[in-house]
Chain A
Amino acid sequence: MLEAIFMAAIRAGTPLLYATLGEIFAERSGVLNLGLEGLMLAGALMGFVVSHITSSAWLGVLGALLIGGVLSLVYAFLTITMRVNQVVAGLALTMLGAGLSGYYGQAFIGKTASQFSPIYIPFFSDIPFIGKVLFSHDPLVYLSYVLVPLSWFYIFKTRWGMNLRAVGEDPKTADTVGISVFKIRYLYVILGGMLTAVGGAYLSLAYTSMWIENMTAGRGWIAVALVIFSAWNPLRALLASYFFGGVASLQLRIQAMGVAISSHLLMMLPYALTIVVLSLISSEAMRKRIGAPTALMKPYSREERE
């Protein structure tokens, strides 16, 4: 029972984890991308379509990476070069992703595509309890196991990570020591968008194994909250994602058990939790304490006089 709940938490948490990781990179560079929902939808559809055509789930992931990269490039151009308000641009990206995927996705409703399926890992999968919880998953979950510590190490322990954090904290300082603020921001907004799109592809290629319009169901928004919840730290993002994934799968289980709570109330759980988390930690003082990038949402211009 517990085994199954934990396992389901990881499965449900993985798409959140990819999106949260991606957004951590973007926000660490000082750019808020509220378009996660749109990016995930685009990634979900693109992944499904490519996998449907090529019969290769891995090529589907490649397609998701591509569409995530392209859409984030547009977003980066708007917010970094054109200095458009990041909230407005992010909402636009969400609507764009939802609209495009809804329109082009119509033809793929009810179709099938090549899927990711669980892979048995010798020795690890045989460990009691842990083997079932952690090592009975598909390759995208295993990939996220690798990505999380790697991202943490990259952000906090390498020179490039230091450049990234400096740009998000104090772009002027970064600029004066010869780091290109624009290059760094473009790079990580695009990288972040790609990871987010993979989170979307996970939904259509592993989690539900089909394309449904608006299948992300607000997961992009939950990921935005998870970034704050995890204090811009990949390791905590893993815990936060699995926690939310757990809440989401638990409510399904409670419904299945026939507990006399309205299913509508139960389905609200993850979203209600998101609101609680956001209101708890969105005060300015709290954000400072948990280490929000100081320059988040502030476009940089070298010649702007102070």
Chain B
Amino acid sequence: MRTGELIRGGDAKAPPQDVVLRLKGIVKKFSGVVANDSVDFDLKVGEIHALLGENGAGKTTLVNVIYGLYQPDSGEIWIRGSKVNIDSPARALSLGIGMVHQSFTLVPSFSVVENVALGLKGFSSLRVVAEKVKQISELYGLSVDPYAKVWQLSVGEMQRVEIIKLLLRDVDILILDEPTSVLTPKETRALFSTLKRLKDEGKSVVFISHKLNEVMEISDRITVMRKGLVINTVRKEDTSPGELAKMMVGREISLGPSKRRSSTSFGEVVLEVKDLEAYGDKGIKVLRGLSFSVREGEILGIAGVAGNGQRELAEVLVGLRRASSGVVLFDGEDITNKGSMVFIEKGGGFIPEDRKRFGVAPNLSLVENLILKSYRKPPFSKGLFLDLDYANKVADFLIEKYSIQSPGKDMPVRLLSGGNLQRLVIARELEGKVRLLIAFHPTFGLDVGAMEFVYEKLLEAKASGTAVLLIAGDLDEIFTLSDRIKVIYEGKLYGDFPPDESYLETIGMLMAGVINGYKA
């Protein structure tokens, strides 16, 4: 008690009365990668404050710090004027902070009531809780059957359960991580009216999103994050979607060699895609009629916020996922649904997004990983056996050429750093005659040095006549490398832009779903 008062009274930096939550200089690193870089943030009583940014900007990390799931490496958290240490979600809840996670935190085999009651203190029976659930759902328009099992609910209902869970715990700071990404437009409207109601009652809301329209509709203030940094905090009245898009994607194109567009004349069409459609893992159509082509020596950049069909597109092209309709032509030959072997045989290369899961076999050695695509045939195999001498020689050559740092070529590749793993993947995918390269987030999680290496190799491939399809979320990367740019949004492609900075804002708006008459 006394120490609390001392801090409150004695510290001149204590935030003003109407600030319920204040973060000062929050730093959070994950094995050396900075996810939050001295972030300052404050939340006022009775406001809806949006956190806007691309995937990987550090929004979720920041709210996980507030909720006690992550411990910050440095920085301070102030709640209602006192400095606090939030070491667990239990502590966060006791401070009146509640969070709705992007992937719901509900036990599927439990009923709604059981989920709400879980961890709740001071109730006599589940019937009492069910009664309260009913009251709250009526009061806030959050309709849900208290006795339904959670696995039977729609995602919209699950989200309502999450919110009810928090309201029953009397939280006054609500954090919602990408709440609308799973909702239908109608459900989104219902959610917004609930949020407005909560705001009118004096509760404060942190609303994470990358959709500009929503942010402009619901929030009072907006804090834009990019690459772990807070770019700016603005009042809604003082800004526009265009300005926010600019802040979100970053104005300057800082990285990489700029003298890339050496040739503007490209060769034959290598990859041609017509009206491609495919379903995602959840059985929802995620590719909804894509058509494009890539020529020899050309890099086509596909920009977009993650989760708009990029992964499925890459998987269909390389033969890892079935297309439900449409055609994929590789050098004029129909390879639709023919499998990855055909793609490889025809000279296709693939740099996957998740290199640990799809790019390498983590427990195999460098040598084995380097020959993964070619070991079936001479000169690597002789009849039943592998020519390991030859494989070793090739591996030595590639390790040297692509400067892969490792504890040894016979060591398992899981010991390699992210940058070196990517060098290895690139060495394997680009060595030899590559007609077509699908590069999916090729610099994801890499530091600047490794990033430049990847850029260099992609540009080399282009110069040698390879057709490159670059799918990336980072607009800097898209602009640095591409000869043409298209935007993917909800499974459709929009526009066809030259890599000219004057289109940056338009592209940013398209990524955020502000279509403005662009045709798919």
Contact = CB atoms under 8 A, between A and B. Distances in A.
A302 B71 CA distance: 10
A265 B69 CA distance: 56
A177 B105 CA distance: 9
Contacts of B101: 176
Contact of A303 (B70, B93, B165): B70
B109 A291 contact: yes
Contacts of B119: 163, 166, 174, 177-179
Nearest to B105: A173
Contacts of A172: 105
Interface in B85-107: 88-90, 93-94, 99, 101, 103, 105-107
Contacts of B110: 162, 165-166, 169
B89 A169 contact: no
Interface in A239-256: none
Interface residues of B, number: 26
A138 interface: no
B300 to A, nearest CB: 31
Nearest to A159: B117
Contact of A173 (B67, B90, B118): B118
B90 A170 contact: no
Given A166-B110, A303-B69, A303-B70, A176 B117 contact: no
A176 B120 CA distance: 12
B30 interface: yes
Given A172-B105, A303-B69, A162 B117 contact: yes
Contacts of B353: none
Nearest to A170: B107
A302 B107 CA distance: 17
A42 to B, nearest CB: 34
Interface in A257-306: 291, 294, 302-303, 305-306
A90 to B, nearest CB: 23
A95 B94 CA distance: 45
Interface centre among B71, B106, B110, B119 (most CB of A within 10 A): B119
Contact of A176 (B67, B70, B108): B67
B266 to A, nearest CB: 40
A178 B110 CA distance: 17
A178 B93 CA distance: 7
A72 B69 CA distance: 28
A41 B443 CA distance: 55
A175 B118 contact: no
A156 to B, nearest CB: 11
Interface residues of A, number: 22
A159 B101 CA distance: 24
A173 B70 contact: no
B114 interface: yes
Interface centre among A174, A177, A180 (most CB of B within 10 A): A177
Contacts of B99: 176
Contacts of B118: 162-163, 166, 173-174, 177, 179
Contacts of A173: 105-107, 115, 118
Contacts of B107: 165-166, 169-170, 173-174
A176 B89 contact: yes
A169 B109 contact: yes
A172 B117 CA distance: 16
Interface centre among B99, B106, B118, B120 (most CB of A within 10 A): B118
B445 to A, nearest CB: 11
Given A169-B109, A170-B107, A291-B109, A177 B89 contact: yes
Contacts of A291: 109
Contacts of A163: 118-119
Interface in B36-83: 67, 69-71
A166 B118 CA distance: 8
A177 B69 CA distance: 11
A162 B114 contact: yes
A155 B89 CA distance: 24
A178 B69 contact: no
Contacts of A306: 103
Interface string A140-181: 000000000000000000010011011001101111111110
A165 B114 CA distance: 11
Interface in B159-211: 165
A175 B165 CA distance: 14
A180 B119 CA distance: 10
Contacts of B88: 175, 178, 180
A175 B89 contact: yes
B89 A178 contact: yes
Nearest to B71: A303
B307 to A, nearest CB: 14
Contacts of A174: 107, 118-119
Nearest to A306: B103
A294 B151 CA distance: 13
A159 B119 CA distance: 8
A305 B90 contact: no
B338 to A, nearest CB: 30
B69 A302 contact: yes
A176 B69 contact: yes
Contacts of A179: 90, 118-119
A180 B165 CA distance: 18
Interface in B291-338: none
B418 to A, nearest CB: 13
Interface in A169-200: 169-170, 172-180
A264 B101 CA distance: 58
A179 B120 CA distance: 9
A303 B29 CA distance: 11
Contacts of A166: 107, 110, 118-119
Contacts of B114: 162
A176 B102 CA distance: 13
A103 to B, nearest CB: 38
A305 B64 CA distance: 11
Nearest to A172: B105
Nearest to B101: A176
A180 B109 contact: no
A302 B105 CA distance: 13
Nearest to B90: A178
Interface centre among A173, A176, A179, A302 (most CB of B within 10 A): A176
A305 B29 CA distance: 12
Nearest to B61: A305
Contacts of A170: 105-108
A131 B109 CA distance: 40
A281 to B, nearest CB: 18
Contacts of A305: 30
18 contacts: A166-B119, A169-B108, A169-B110, A170-B106, A170-B107, A170-B108, A173-B105, A173-B118, A174-B118, A175-B89, A176-B67, A176-B89, A177-B89, A177-B105, A177-B118, A177-B120, A178-B90, A303-B70
Given A177-B165, A294-B109, 20 more contacts: A159-B117, A166-B107, A166-B118, A169-B107, A170-B106, A170-B108, A173-B107, A173-B115, A173-B118, A174-B107, A175-B89, A176-B67, A176-B89, A176-B101, A176-B105, A177-B93, A178-B90, A179-B90, A179-B119, A303-B71
Interface of A: 159, 162-163, 165-166, 169-170, 172-180, 291, 294, 302-303, 305-306
8 closest Cβ contacts across the A-B interface? A177-B119, A178-B90, A173-B105, A176-B105, A178-B119, A176-B89, A170-B107, A169-B107
